[in-house]
Amino acid sequence: MFDWVTPELAAIFWAVFKAIVILLGAVVAGAQMIWAERRLLALWQDRYGPNRVGTFGLLQVVADMVKIFFKEDWTPPFVDKFTFILAPALAIGLMMLAFILVPFTPNWVVTSPEDGILFFFAIAGLAVYAVMLGGWSSNSKYALLGGLRSTAQMISYEVFMGLSLMGIVMKAGSFDLHQIVEAQRHGWFIFSQFFGFCVWVLAGIAVIHRTPFDLPEAEAELGAGYHTEYSGMKFGMFLVAEYVGIVLISCLTVVLFFGGWHVPFEDEVPFFTQIPFIWFASKAAVFMAAFILLRASLPRPRYDQMMSAAWKVCLPLALLNLIGTAAYVLWQTPGATG
């Protein structure tokens, strides 16, 4: 009956299955981030948050989804229809696309291209378009201002987001995320690349325009920024894209700086190494919670403050880190100086 299943075909099916599971996992994690954020914000503001629908309010997202699907999907008459519809799809699609790179465990990864980090930068660069097109096609002042801000913000932060990771690439000797995780078996890059980590986290928050760098939205001054004119599920896609972005940046932080699936001090205490995903997930969860903590505690900087912090602090820091790492790697490589 299953004669037609050749080993090659089975491998393809298995790969597709893994990809689908990772896709669904990313979407569900992103959606549950909405619940997690509301509960954690409530905890830090001495409230309870949504705790009625399902156990601990876990089904709140389902209720919200049902509600948002039944809302009127209103497209204002003055917008540019094609780009208006394209923007939210781009926002969530690109965030999902970046998940093909993340090596959750040694075996569970959709693809592991040799230049994985470059691919991520390409996607992050394209993600600007989602916000920019959303702001431009809405054809209203607030949305346009939000779109402009986010374009400038994301472009400038991507510059040193790339630079901050070059130290890692030098130390691991590869752009491949799988190789980078393997290179951290005996020491995470957070210790040797601390300044790179600082710059990466700041840039990561800015690129997924998350509080405190949510100036594209800036609800206090721009209405809702680039998604002012959006409603219904199109708005929902922007919203979920933001949360999927948090999950993505947390996963990448774990992969790049915190040893991916490796157990802390794996050489001394090999603990639970059989289920590497537990370690990956718990590390990523810490970072997701940390992003929410940042939102709970930090005020939003002024736009010029944010841009000067980018170009006057983060860029020099990233460059210094790059030069220092390069010098160190060169010094360590036998025969490189002679």
Residues that bind another protein in the complex, under the rule CB under 8 A = 43-48, 51, 293-294, 296-298, 313
CA-to-CA separations, 102 to 26, 37, 124, 248, 255, in angstroms, rounded: 11, 23, 14, 8, 7
- What DSSP character marks residue 89? H
Kindly state the smallest distance separating residue 288's Cβ from another protein, in Å: 15
Kindly state the smallest distance separating residue 294's Cβ from another protein, in Å: 7
Q: How far does CA 336 lie from the centroid of its chain?
A: 36
Kindly state the smallest distance separating residue 197's Cβ from another protein, in Å: 15
CA-to-CA separations, 188 to 115, 260, 284, 314, in angstroms, rounded: 21, 9, 15, 22
Report the C-alpha gap between 332 and 327 in whole angstroms. Answer: 9
Look at the block and give the residue holding tokens 């009956």: 1
Q: Could you tell me the two tokens for 144?
A: 């346009």
Residue 45 or 273 having the CB closest to another protein? 45
Kindly state the smallest distance separating residue 188's Cβ from another protein, in Å: 21
Residue 68 or 292 having the CB closest to another protein? 292
Residue 273 or 282 having the CB closest to another protein? 282
Look at the block and give the residue holding tokens 């299953």: 2
Kindly state the smallest distance separating residue 200's Cβ from another protein, in Å: 17
Kindly state the smallest distance separating residue 44's Cβ from another protein, in Å: 5
Q: Could you tell me the two tokens for 215?
A: 């100036």
Residue 51 or 83 having the CB closest to another protein? 51
Q: How far does CA 22 lie from the centroid of its chain?
A: 15
Tell me the HSE value of 219 on the side-chain side, using a 13 A CA sphere: 4
Residue 19 or 296 having the CB closest to another protein? 296
Q: Could you tell me the two tokens for 25?
A: 């996992």
Q: How far does CA 152 lie from the centroid of its chain?
A: 19
Three-state DSSP class for residue 82? helix
Kindly state the smallest distance separating residue 213's Cβ from another protein, in Å: 13
Residue 55 or 274 having the CB closest to another protein? 55
Residue 234 or 295 having the CB closest to another protein? 295
Report the C-alpha gap between 262 and 181 in whole angstroms. Answer: 8
Kindly state the smallest distance separating residue 212's Cβ from another protein, in Å: 9
Kindly state the smallest distance separating residue 233's Cβ from another protein, in Å: 30
Q: What do you get for the CA distance between the two ends of the chain, in Å?
A: 66
Residue 282 or 297 having the CB closest to another protein? 297
Task: Determine whether 95 is exposed, middle or buried from the number of CB atoms within 10 Å of its CB (0-12, 13-18, 19+).
Answer: buried
Residue 12 or 293 having the CB closest to another protein? 293
Q: Between the CA atoms of 32, 256, 202 and 315, what dihedral angle is there, to the nearest 10 degrees?
A: -160
Q: Quick check: 128 and 210 in contact, CB under 8 A? A: no
